[in-house]
Structure 1
Amino acid sequence: MSQTILITGGVRSGKSAIAEGRTLGFGTPAVYIATAQAFDGEMETRIAAHQARRGAEWRTVQEPLDLVGALAATDGAPRLVDCLTLWLTNQMLGGHDWQAAGRDLCAALARQTSPVVLVTNEVGLGIVPENRLAREFRDAAGLLNQWVAAVADEVIFAVAGLPMKVK
């Protein structure tokens, strides 16, 4: 059964834990497609906390850029992509065409035969960033989230650890 679920929310809103529960609800083993890259100790600590929460029912695939390829390689099991915002960061800072990659991702989601749960950050609820790159990122994240939400079967907004169904 193919289903695409987008879970969004602010930092520390509980979206990853909600997404993990939803993904495991489709069955095990599940695949955790991790997009984060540990460039410093703080990020290493964040990644370790996520890994510690997961048990033997998860298989982790580290893929900072090629989400379409990772989804194709893991179809047949429920997948969790955590997170689109870091994937977008990797695309933008790597000088890749994030818009083409985002369109390709949306097309790939429609081809999946197994469930996909995607986590993303809602970055547009705060103040306007002071620098150009941050504003470009905020705008790109908003557009990417809209594109994925449009093709998703369900959209959840996480607030204080609680899921609110949006779509």
Structure 2
Amino acid sequence: MISREEIITLYSTHYKEIFNYIYHLTGSYETAEDILQETFINLIEYSKNTIINLDTVKSLLYRTAHNLSINYLKKNEKIDSLDDSINYLPANNAADDDILTQEIQKEVSNALEKLDAISRSIFILKRDNDYTNEEIAKLLHISERTVRRKLQSTLSYILSHLKNKGFYENL
């Protein structure tokens, strides 16, 4: 069984990152808190019957958080809404540019809401957490090829969505 000290260390090391991941999937602060708590409870329960490799526990935490989030979304038939931060968009100080950037961010979030959970997860891990394709593949237990295909498909869909909404007409 995993010790109390190890749980405290794991929680303090990973809670922000896991919480942000859950929040991006569910769109709810309260739900993210609940699922985060349930993720660590599941880790404790799992450790009663299985030896936990502390070197790979992060992957286990992400996988548990992912599955609990997907189960929550399926159970509640809820479409997640992602926050408005799009890290790869340039920051501008001019008021018109800020408004345009906010509109684009909103449309990117709207496009992401229409995608399947795996595509959203991959995009969030890549964009918000700067994970490599290899790291994403390991966390989600899928192939790197699937990660690349899903990212390409997601980016293509977002670009198409933005074009249809009148942004980037020259692309």
Taking structure 2 as the reference length, the TM-score comes to 0.28
- Bigger RCO (CA 8 Å, 6+ sep): 1
Greater strand content: 1
Taking structure 1 as the reference length, the TM-score comes to 0.28
Greater helix content: 2
